[in-house]
């Protein structure tokens, strides 16, 4: 069965880079790519204003611009990707991005969302991308892979999986991680950063994780006497790691062990894509 991958775009260089990364990642796989452009007025407005105060001429202009952009993108992709195993579908939706993504994920039974970490504005406060961070927090039906603007697909050295051994690993969650490892032909490096010894619950979780990672090359690593953002960045950069995978608890991305500043810190200093896994839908 073909993989179903959603590729949100705002027609920026960053979103094009994420699409190119996705094509390379699934180079040998049969895949249906759904290219989504969600459009709203450029000004900051509320949902009620979207519904009640946007005039029809302006809406028609936005709709036309979206259609033109997707048509241009389809021509570019026709030259970019010659794989007979890849099919592209184009979707234009008048909606906020997270809502549009949720709709497509549900309607098309999407396996993975891949998107860039900054949009067309390239604002300094976007970092992970304000949109990308929102998607990573709110889209829980499938993993989200965020591609930094400078990331270039190449030989995959390893996937770093930072953990506190307190996440309560779920089968489907870990299947997404091992599937990515098989796709990338990359080992998983489980990273724990702490000055405290593991308690009994953590030891049990480590054993469970070991069982779930059977069939995939993996190893466990410990860093001490360093804060988590610094330790993770040093580990990733010093080893030339290719990807970082996080678990996102339902109550907030990188909460408890990881915090938003970690995501921001990672994307300031790293070219590494970030895969977000979820505890539940």
Q: Residue ranges of the domains in the chain? A: 3-147, 159-278
* pLDDT for 128: 45
Note whether 198 and 165 are within 8 A (CB). Answer: yes
Of 124-133, 257-266, 270-279, which has the strongest mean pLDDT?
270-279
Same CATH topology for 3-147 and 159-278?
yes
Tens-digit pLDDT profile for residues 52-82: 555 566 788 889 999 999 999 999 999 888 7
* pLDDT for 262: 52
Dihedral angle sign, alpha carbons of residues 43, 47, 50, 52: negative
Burial class (CB in 10 A: 0-12, 13-18, 19+), 69: middle
Nearest partner of 277 among 235, 243, 232, judged by Cα: 243
* pLDDT for 135: 86
Tens-digit pLDDT profile for residues 148-185: 888 888 888 999 999 999 888 999 889 999 999 999 99
Nearest partner of 73 among 145, 19, 5, judged by Cα: 19
- What is the CATH architecture of 3-147? 3-Layer(aba) Sandwich (3.40)
* pLDDT for 30: 95
Q: Alpha-carbon distance 174 to 162, whole Å?
A: 13
- What is the CATH architecture of 159-278? 3-Layer(aba) Sandwich (3.40)
Q: Alpha-carbon distance 117 to 18, whole Å?
A: 9
* pLDDT for 129: 52
Residue 260 has pLDDT above 80, yes or no: no
User: Looking at 121-227, which runs of residues are DSSP E strands?
Assistant: 144-147, 159-162, 188-193, 218-223
Q: What is the mean pLDDT of the chain?
A: 84
Rounded to an integer, the average pLDDT of 238-244 is 92
* pLDDT for 209: 96
């Amino acid at each position: 069965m073909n993989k179903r991958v959603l590729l949100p775009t705002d027609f920026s260089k960053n979103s094009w880079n994420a699409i190119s990364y996705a094509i390379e990642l699934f180079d040998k796989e049969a895949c249906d790519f759904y290219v989504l452009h969600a459009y709203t007025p450029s000004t900051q407005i509320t949902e009620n204003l979207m519904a009640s105060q946007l005039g029809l001429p302006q809406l028609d202009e936005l709709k036309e611009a979206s259609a033109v952009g997707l048509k241009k993108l389809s021509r570019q992709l026709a030259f970019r990707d010659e794989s007979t195993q890849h099919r592209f579908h184009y979707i234009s939706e008048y909606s906020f991005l997270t809502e549009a993504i949720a709709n497509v994920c549900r309607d098309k039974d999407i396996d993975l969302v891949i998107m860039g970490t900054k949009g067309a504005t390239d604002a300094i406060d976007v970092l992970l991308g304000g949109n990308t961070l929102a998607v990573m927090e709110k889209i829980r039906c499938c993993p989200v892979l965020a591609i930094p603007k400078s990331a270039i697909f190449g030989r995959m050295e390893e996937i770093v999986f930072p953990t506190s051994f307190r996440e309560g690993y779920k089968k489907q969650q870990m299947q997404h991680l091992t599937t990515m490892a098989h796709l990338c032909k990359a080992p998983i490096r489980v990273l724990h950063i702490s000055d405290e010894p593991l308690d009994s619950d953590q030891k049990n979780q480590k054993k469970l994780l070991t069982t779930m990672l059977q069939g995939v090359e993996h190893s466990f690593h410990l860093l001490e006497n360093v804060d988590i953002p610094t330790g993770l960045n040093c580990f990733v950069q010093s080893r030339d790691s290719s990807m970082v995978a996080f678990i996102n608890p339902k109550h907030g991305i990188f909460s408890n062990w990881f915090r938003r500043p970690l995501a921001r810190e990672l994307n300031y200093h790293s070219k590494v894509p970030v895969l977000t896994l979820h505890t539940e839908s």
